Amino acid sequence: MSHLEIKNLHVAIDGKEILKGLSLAVNQGEIHAIMGPNGTGKSTLAYTLMGHPHYTVTQGEILFKGQNVLELEPDERSQLGMFLAFQYPVAIPGVTVANFLRTAINARRRVADPNDKGISIAAFRKMLTEKMTMLKMDPSFAGRYLNDGFSGGEKKRAEILQMATLTPEIAILDETDSGLDIDALRIVAEGVNALSGPELGVLVITHYQRLLNYIKPDFVHIMLDGRIVESGGADLALHLEEQGYDWVREKYEEVAA
C-alpha cells in the first residue's frame, strides 16, 4: 500500500511563510478532505506536494513510498505515482486531449524502459474509449484542443480524465469545485467516485461542504494559519457548513494563547 506522509512541513513564497508545521498522512484507498478559509495555505500545500518551483520548503519532509519527494522534480513525482488536478488548468491550443494523454503515457513508459516504443494507437484508442465510457464522456471530447475554449466543468472533467488515464496512487484535487455550477460539480464528483477504490488515495482541497455531498471523505481536516488544527470524520464538514469557521478560530486562538 502506497503511503503519503507530510511531516512538519514549513513552506514560504517570496520570503513569506505560508505553511507553518503541517503534518498529514494519506494512504491508498482513503479519501481525505482539507477545508479552510481563504489564505490559509491549502493551494500552497497542493503545489508544494507536486514540486512547484515558486514554493520554498524551509523545513520538514514529504515522504511517498518511503522516499523524500522533495529531492524529486515534478515529473519524477508523477512517475512515482502522484497526481495533481489543478484549480485553474492551462489551455494548450493545437494539442488535442488524446495526443496530450498519449504523450504523457509514453513519457512514463520510456522512464520505465528507454527502449519502449510507446503504446500503439489501437491500444491507446481502446483504453481511452474505456476510460471515457466509465466517466460518461462524449468521445468527441478527445479530439478537442486541451482546455482551449473549455467551460469550467469541461476543464475539470479533462483533469479527471487525465487522472483516469495515468492511474496515480495518490491524487491531489486542488479546489476541483471552483467555478462549477451544481450540474458540473455533480458530474465531476461522479468521475472521482468512479476512480476511487483501494488503489487510489485522494486528497480533496475545498472551501465548501457541497463537493463533499458527492465525494464522501473518510477524514476531514481543517486548516488555519498554515497548519491543520482540527481533524475528524465527514460530520466535521457538516458542522463547518452549519457553524462556519469562527468556532475554529476561537479554539485555535485559545490553544495558541
Residue 12 is predicted with a pLDDT of 97
Inform me whether the pLDDT recorded for 5 exceeds 80. yes
Residue 99 sits in a domain whose CATH number is: 3.40.50.300
**Per the structure, how many domains does the chain have?**
1
Cell 508523477: give the residue. 78
For residue 53, the enclosing domain spans 3-256
Cα separation values, 59 from 6, 56, 221, Å: 11, 9, 21
- CA dihedral over 194, 200, 201, 207, signed as positive or negative: negative
Residue 254 is predicted with a pLDDT of 64
Name the pTM for this structure: 0.91
Residue 178 is predicted with a pLDDT of 80
pLDDT digit string, tens, across residues 212-224: 989 999 999 999 9
Top pLDDT among 256 and 243 is at 243
Q: Can you tell me the mean pLDDT for 23-38?
A: 94
Residue 1 is predicted with a pLDDT of 63
